[in-house]
Amino acid sequence: MTDQPLLRNLVEPGIVRLTFNRPDKLNALSTPAIRALEHELDAIAVDPAVRVVILTGAGDRAFVAGADIAEYRGNRTEAFAAYQFESRRVFDKLEALPQPTIAAIRGYALGGGFELALCCDLIVCATSARLGLPEGQLGLSPGGGGTQRLTRAVGKIVASDIMLGARRITGERAFQLGLAVEVTADEALTETALARARAMLKIAPRAQTEMKRLIRQGFDAPLPVAQSFEQEVLLRLYSTEDGQEGIEAFLDKRQPEFKGK
Protein backbone atom coordinates (compact mmCIF):
# COMPACT_ATOMS: atom_id res chain seq x y z
CA MET A 1 0.00 0.00 0.00
CA THR A 2 1.11 3.58 -0.65
CA ASP A 3 0.81 6.49 1.74
CA GLN A 4 -1.96 8.01 -0.37
CA PRO A 5 -5.21 8.27 1.62
CA LEU A 6 -7.33 7.34 -1.41
CA LEU A 7 -6.46 5.03 -4.28
CA ARG A 8 -8.11 5.03 -7.71
CA ASN A 9 -7.88 2.17 -10.14
CA LEU A 10 -9.67 1.11 -13.29
CA VAL A 11 -11.07 -2.32 -12.53
CA GLU A 12 -12.58 -2.92 -15.95
CA PRO A 13 -13.49 -0.59 -18.82
CA GLY A 14 -16.08 1.78 -17.42
CA ILE A 15 -15.70 0.70 -13.77
CA VAL A 16 -13.51 2.69 -11.36
CA ARG A 17 -12.77 1.70 -7.77
CA LEU A 18 -11.93 4.27 -5.09
CA THR A 19 -10.27 2.70 -2.04
CA PHE A 20 -9.88 4.49 1.28
CA ASN A 21 -6.32 3.63 2.14
CA ARG A 22 -5.49 3.98 5.83
CA PRO A 23 -5.87 0.37 6.97
CA ASP A 24 -3.76 0.97 10.10
CA LYS A 25 -6.37 3.58 11.15
CA LEU A 26 -9.35 1.50 9.95
CA ASN A 27 -9.47 3.87 6.94
CA ALA A 28 -10.61 6.74 9.16
CA LEU A 29 -11.43 9.92 7.27
CA SER A 30 -8.94 12.75 7.50
CA THR A 31 -8.69 16.13 5.85
CA PRO A 32 -6.30 14.76 3.18
CA ALA A 33 -8.69 11.86 2.50
CA ILE A 34 -11.67 14.19 2.10
CA ARG A 35 -9.72 16.42 -0.28
CA ALA A 36 -8.47 13.46 -2.28
CA LEU A 37 -12.04 12.21 -2.59
CA GLU A 38 -13.25 15.59 -3.83
CA HIS A 39 -10.45 15.69 -6.40
CA GLU A 40 -11.42 12.27 -7.75
CA LEU A 41 -15.15 13.04 -7.77
CA ASP A 42 -14.59 16.25 -9.72
CA ALA A 43 -12.55 14.35 -12.32
CA ILE A 44 -14.99 11.44 -12.56
CA ALA A 45 -18.03 13.69 -12.93
CA VAL A 46 -16.79 15.00 -16.29
CA ASP A 47 -15.26 11.76 -17.58
CA PRO A 48 -17.64 9.91 -19.94
CA ALA A 49 -15.36 6.86 -19.86
CA VAL A 50 -16.31 6.26 -16.22
CA ARG A 51 -19.70 4.58 -16.00
CA VAL A 52 -19.78 3.18 -12.45
CA VAL A 53 -17.82 3.93 -9.26
CA ILE A 54 -17.23 1.41 -6.47
CA LEU A 55 -16.13 2.69 -3.06
CA THR A 56 -14.37 0.37 -0.65
CA GLY A 57 -11.78 0.28 2.12
CA ALA A 58 -8.27 -1.15 2.23
CA GLY A 59 -7.69 -4.23 4.32
CA ASP A 60 -10.26 -6.58 5.77
CA ARG A 61 -11.23 -4.70 8.95
CA ALA A 62 -13.07 -1.60 7.76
CA PHE A 63 -14.76 0.28 4.96
CA VAL A 64 -14.32 3.58 6.82
CA ALA A 65 -14.52 3.51 10.61
CA GLY A 66 -15.50 7.18 10.91
CA ALA A 67 -13.52 10.35 11.20
CA ASP A 68 -9.98 10.57 12.53
CA ILE A 69 -10.91 11.80 16.01
CA ALA A 70 -7.35 13.02 16.61
CA GLU A 71 -8.23 15.96 14.34
CA TYR A 72 -11.02 16.94 16.77
CA ARG A 73 -8.79 17.38 19.82
CA GLY A 74 -8.21 20.78 21.41
CA ASN A 75 -11.54 22.60 21.08
CA ARG A 76 -10.41 24.23 17.83
CA THR A 77 -13.86 25.47 16.89
CA GLU A 78 -13.01 27.20 13.61
CA ALA A 79 -10.97 24.28 12.29
CA PHE A 80 -13.64 21.80 13.36
CA ALA A 81 -16.38 23.81 11.62
CA ALA A 82 -14.29 24.15 8.45
CA TYR A 83 -13.73 20.39 8.35
CA GLN A 84 -17.44 19.69 8.81
CA PHE A 85 -18.50 22.10 6.07
CA GLU A 86 -15.84 20.71 3.72
CA SER A 87 -16.97 17.15 4.42
CA ARG A 88 -20.59 18.04 3.80
CA ARG A 89 -19.72 19.58 0.44
CA VAL A 90 -17.80 16.49 -0.63
CA PHE A 91 -20.48 14.08 0.58
CA ASP A 92 -23.07 16.05 -1.37
CA LYS A 93 -20.86 15.79 -4.46
CA LEU A 94 -20.73 12.04 -4.01
CA GLU A 95 -24.51 11.83 -3.81
CA ALA A 96 -24.93 14.07 -6.86
CA LEU A 97 -22.32 12.31 -9.00
CA PRO A 98 -23.83 11.63 -12.45
CA GLN A 99 -22.55 8.04 -12.47
CA PRO A 100 -23.99 5.31 -10.25
CA THR A 101 -22.02 4.56 -7.09
CA ILE A 102 -21.73 1.34 -5.09
CA ALA A 103 -20.43 1.14 -1.53
CA ALA A 104 -18.83 -2.27 -0.93
CA ILE A 105 -18.61 -2.64 2.85
CA ARG A 106 -16.44 -5.08 4.74
CA GLY A 107 -15.95 -4.56 8.48
CA TYR A 108 -16.66 -1.22 10.13
CA ALA A 109 -18.67 1.54 8.43
CA LEU A 110 -19.22 3.90 11.33
CA GLY A 111 -19.91 7.61 11.61
CA GLY A 112 -18.63 9.31 8.49
CA GLY A 113 -18.06 5.93 6.89
CA PHE A 114 -21.74 5.05 7.18
CA GLU A 115 -22.63 8.54 5.98
CA LEU A 116 -20.45 8.03 2.90
CA ALA A 117 -22.23 4.77 2.16
CA LEU A 118 -25.61 6.48 2.53
CA CYS A 119 -24.58 8.89 -0.23
CA CYS A 120 -24.10 5.99 -2.65
CA ASP A 121 -26.80 4.57 -4.88
CA LEU A 122 -26.28 0.98 -3.74
CA ILE A 123 -24.74 -0.64 -0.68
CA VAL A 124 -23.38 -4.18 -0.81
CA CYS A 125 -22.35 -5.68 2.54
CA ALA A 126 -20.08 -8.51 3.57
CA THR A 127 -21.18 -10.62 6.50
CA SER A 128 -18.52 -8.88 8.60
CA ALA A 129 -20.04 -5.44 7.98
CA ARG A 130 -20.95 -3.38 11.03
CA LEU A 131 -22.72 -0.09 10.37
CA GLY A 132 -23.67 2.67 12.80
CA LEU A 133 -23.65 6.31 13.82
CA PRO A 134 -22.03 6.31 17.28
CA GLU A 135 -21.26 10.05 17.50
CA GLY A 136 -23.45 10.40 20.61
CA GLN A 137 -20.85 8.40 22.53
CA LEU A 138 -18.44 11.28 21.88
CA GLY A 139 -20.96 13.85 23.07
CA LEU A 140 -21.54 14.85 19.45
CA SER A 141 -24.05 14.16 16.68
CA PRO A 142 -23.59 13.04 13.06
CA GLY A 143 -22.61 15.92 10.79
CA GLY A 144 -22.25 14.40 7.34
CA GLY A 145 -25.95 13.97 6.65
CA GLY A 146 -26.42 10.82 8.71
CA THR A 147 -29.40 11.97 10.75
CA GLN A 148 -31.23 12.93 7.57
CA ARG A 149 -30.18 10.34 4.99
CA LEU A 150 -30.59 7.42 7.37
CA THR A 151 -34.02 8.63 8.49
CA ARG A 152 -35.13 8.99 4.88
CA ALA A 153 -33.81 5.52 4.10
CA VAL A 154 -35.31 3.53 6.99
CA GLY A 155 -37.77 5.83 8.77
CA LYS A 156 -37.50 7.75 12.01
CA ILE A 157 -38.16 4.83 14.39
CA VAL A 158 -35.36 2.62 13.08
CA ALA A 159 -33.06 5.62 12.67
CA SER A 160 -33.74 6.59 16.28
CA ASP A 161 -32.96 3.07 17.43
CA ILE A 162 -29.63 3.10 15.59
CA MET A 163 -28.52 6.61 16.61
CA LEU A 164 -29.94 7.14 20.09
CA GLY A 165 -28.51 3.87 21.35
CA ALA A 166 -25.37 3.93 19.18
CA ARG A 167 -26.36 0.54 17.79
CA ARG A 168 -24.19 -1.20 15.24
CA ILE A 169 -26.17 -3.19 12.74
CA THR A 170 -24.88 -6.16 10.78
CA GLY A 171 -24.78 -6.49 7.03
CA GLU A 172 -27.67 -8.93 7.27
CA ARG A 173 -29.73 -6.41 9.26
CA ALA A 174 -28.88 -3.70 6.72
CA PHE A 175 -30.21 -5.99 4.01
CA GLN A 176 -33.41 -6.65 6.00
CA LEU A 177 -33.94 -2.91 6.41
CA GLY A 178 -33.48 -2.26 2.69
CA LEU A 179 -30.23 -0.35 3.22
CA ALA A 180 -28.13 -2.99 1.47
CA VAL A 181 -29.12 -4.68 -1.78
CA GLU A 182 -27.11 -7.80 -1.00
CA VAL A 183 -25.11 -9.40 1.78
CA THR A 184 -22.37 -11.83 0.87
CA ALA A 185 -19.40 -13.67 2.27
CA ASP A 186 -16.38 -11.45 2.82
CA GLU A 187 -14.32 -13.23 0.19
CA ALA A 188 -17.09 -12.72 -2.39
CA LEU A 189 -17.63 -8.98 -1.74
CA THR A 190 -15.44 -7.70 -4.56
CA GLU A 191 -17.02 -9.93 -7.18
CA THR A 192 -20.52 -9.20 -5.88
CA ALA A 193 -19.98 -5.45 -6.22
CA LEU A 194 -18.48 -5.96 -9.68
CA ALA A 195 -21.51 -7.98 -10.79
CA ARG A 196 -23.76 -5.07 -9.85
CA ALA A 197 -21.48 -2.64 -11.67
CA ARG A 198 -21.37 -4.78 -14.81
CA ALA A 199 -25.15 -4.87 -14.91
CA MET A 200 -25.17 -1.06 -14.82
CA LEU A 201 -22.93 -0.92 -17.89
CA LYS A 202 -25.82 -2.31 -19.95
CA ILE A 203 -27.95 0.78 -19.34
CA ALA A 204 -27.78 3.81 -21.64
CA PRO A 205 -25.56 6.39 -19.89
CA ARG A 206 -27.90 9.36 -20.22
CA ALA A 207 -30.91 7.33 -19.15
CA GLN A 208 -28.96 6.13 -16.14
CA THR A 209 -27.96 9.64 -15.11
CA GLU A 210 -31.51 10.90 -15.51
CA MET A 211 -33.03 8.02 -13.53
CA LYS A 212 -30.52 8.57 -10.74
CA ARG A 213 -31.50 12.23 -10.60
CA LEU A 214 -35.21 11.38 -10.59
CA ILE A 215 -34.77 8.92 -7.74
CA ARG A 216 -32.82 11.41 -5.62
CA GLN A 217 -34.80 14.58 -6.35
CA GLY A 218 -38.24 13.11 -6.91
CA PHE A 219 -38.24 11.33 -3.55
CA ASP A 220 -38.64 14.61 -1.66
CA ALA A 221 -41.07 16.21 -4.12
CA PRO A 222 -44.87 15.93 -4.04
CA LEU A 223 -45.98 12.97 -6.17
CA PRO A 224 -47.62 15.02 -8.98
CA VAL A 225 -44.50 17.20 -9.24
CA ALA A 226 -42.22 14.16 -9.30
CA GLN A 227 -44.36 12.53 -11.97
CA SER A 228 -44.08 15.67 -14.09
CA PHE A 229 -40.28 15.50 -13.70
CA GLU A 230 -40.40 11.86 -14.76
CA GLN A 231 -42.48 12.48 -17.87
CA GLU A 232 -40.33 15.40 -18.97
CA VAL A 233 -37.23 13.20 -18.70
CA LEU A 234 -38.83 10.37 -20.66
CA LEU A 235 -39.86 12.67 -23.49
CA ARG A 236 -36.37 14.14 -23.66
CA LEU A 237 -34.71 10.72 -23.69
CA TYR A 238 -37.01 9.50 -26.44
CA SER A 239 -35.48 11.94 -28.92
CA THR A 240 -31.87 11.06 -28.11
CA GLU A 241 -29.71 8.82 -30.28
CA ASP A 242 -29.55 6.22 -27.52
CA GLY A 243 -33.31 6.31 -27.05
CA GLN A 244 -33.90 5.52 -30.70
CA GLU A 245 -31.08 2.97 -30.74
CA GLY A 246 -32.62 1.14 -27.80
CA ILE A 247 -36.00 0.94 -29.53
CA GLU A 248 -34.50 -0.25 -32.81
CA ALA A 249 -32.29 -2.83 -31.09
CA PHE A 250 -35.27 -4.23 -29.19
CA LEU A 251 -37.31 -4.59 -32.38
CA ASP A 252 -34.33 -6.05 -34.25
CA LYS A 253 -33.70 -8.53 -31.40
CA ARG A 254 -30.08 -7.44 -30.94
CA GLN A 255 -27.99 -5.82 -28.22
CA PRO A 256 -28.09 -2.00 -28.32
CA GLU A 257 -24.93 -0.01 -28.90
CA PHE A 258 -25.29 3.01 -26.67
CA LYS A 259 -23.03 6.02 -27.19
CA GLY A 260 -24.20 8.34 -24.46
CA LYS A 261 -25.84 10.66 -26.98
Q: Which residues participate in catalysis according to the annotation?
A: 115, 135
Listing DSSP states for 135-203 in one string gives GGGGT----SSHHHHHHHHH-HHHHHHHHHTT--EEHHHHHHTTS-SEEE-GGGHHHHHHHHHHHHTTS
- Bridge partners of 130? 108, 170
Q: Which residues pair with 102 in a beta bridge?
A: 54, 122
Distances (CA, A) of 238 to 171, 201, 204, 232: 39, 19, 12, 10
Q: Measure the CA–CA gap between 175 and 196, rounded to whole angstroms.
A: 15
The identity of residue 91, as a single letter, is: F
List CB contacts of 261: < 8 A, sequence separation 6 or more: 206, 240, 241, 242
Task: Give yes or no for a contact between 141 and 147, defined as CB atoms under 8 angstroms apart.
Answer: yes
